Structure 1
Amino acid sequence: MSRSARLLGILQAMQGRRRPVTAQALAEAAGVSLRTLYRDIETLRGQGAAIEGEAGLGYLLRPGFFLPPLAFDEEEAEALLLGLRWVARRGDPDLAEAAESAFGKLAAILPPAVEAAASGSGLVPAAGPGQVAPLAALRQAMRQESKIRLDYADKAGVATRRVVWPLAVGFFTGAEVLAAWCELRQDHRHFRLDRMQAVALLPDRLPRRRAVLLAEWRLAQAIEAPDRN
């Protein structure tokens, strides 16, 4: 392995981590001694890498640091391209367009052999219900951390109007479902997108950060948070 490839590998090992990575773990991943690892860390810092930490405590790559395009193997590229195809089929127009754009960018940076293998894998995502109108509004509300007014019909066709705090949208085989806090019921509720008759963004902000509310919903539903490490 060249030194430049080793340095990039060290950055990749720290990328996206929420907790510091020990020097021993980084050294083992890079296949070098601790002494060499410490020198590599100082070299990366000297080249502008935003690395926090020190020996004995571990190292963390500061959020927002730009990392050059990663090298993906065939399995990783196949997973990414399949995921982007799925979003292009299930998302609202803006999200689908973003997925198509990301697909093109990813395909452009892959080595020809890897791109050909991933693109020709034969894995094709099925089209979903495609409730694109409410999905676009819900994505905007979640991004802005705003409340929404929801006109909703239950499975019996009974219509209600509610103010809810949108937390997450789940994509299932037969439906897309919004998880939210419902002010009418004073509890978490789940609403199918295909039963939403109207969605209106309100000027009222969520009372707490959506990340906090989402963690409370996961706890109430006994759902473990995704592990990024």
Structure 2
Amino acid sequence: MEISRNPSKLSVSPASSMGLIVGPREAVKTGGQLLTLNGNHEIMNIEGDFRYVTEKGLEEFDVWAYCVRARIAALRPNGPISRRFLANNSTVLVVGDSVFVHGGLLAKHVDYGLQRINEEVRDWINGSKGGRAPEYCRGRNAVVWLRKFSDELEKNCDCSLLEHVLATIPGAKRMIMGHTIQVAGINGVCDSRAIRIDVECRKAAVMDCLKFWRLIRTRG
């Protein structure tokens, strides 16, 4: 996802939606910036929880040592892969009037401090906070696991809670989340204050991203 250079506006460039923006350098060339977030799978892998890792994903580490031990060593806090590729990620990101988070935010997360969350997760990944992820990254109400605003049926989403959470973040108009696959494609509920963008990397994702881009631009 490419974030507009202008912090007062959020845009997803059609170029990035079509797969033409593939990294930070390409994003900068178009006047944008590629910003990455930690999700539940990053947190799980750093903790050594490989429940959703495929057999091939484990075998990739077999060139160094027994695959499971090698993967743990590479991805543990202060591991060579986690430190190089994940430590600089944000966990929550506010860009203009949009809040990006993998699962979702509750008022207690905002009260705790979004910047504090980012700093503590980075410290944990870099090995200075022990082996377990911070509490707000674990469990069903964690910032990377929450689904209160992601059910495909709007009636099952807590729109009043979302409105309250956004009201505690100065200038925030919407929360943009992944984590929960949207079979119908990228969509918005709660008067487009909850934008759900997990489309499982399918072919239709290109058109979904274009739809998302137009939705944000028209809503303002």
Give the TM-score, by structure 2 length. 0.27
Give the TM-score, by structure 1 length. 0.26
By percentage of residues, which structure has more helix? 1
Structure of larger gyration radius? 1
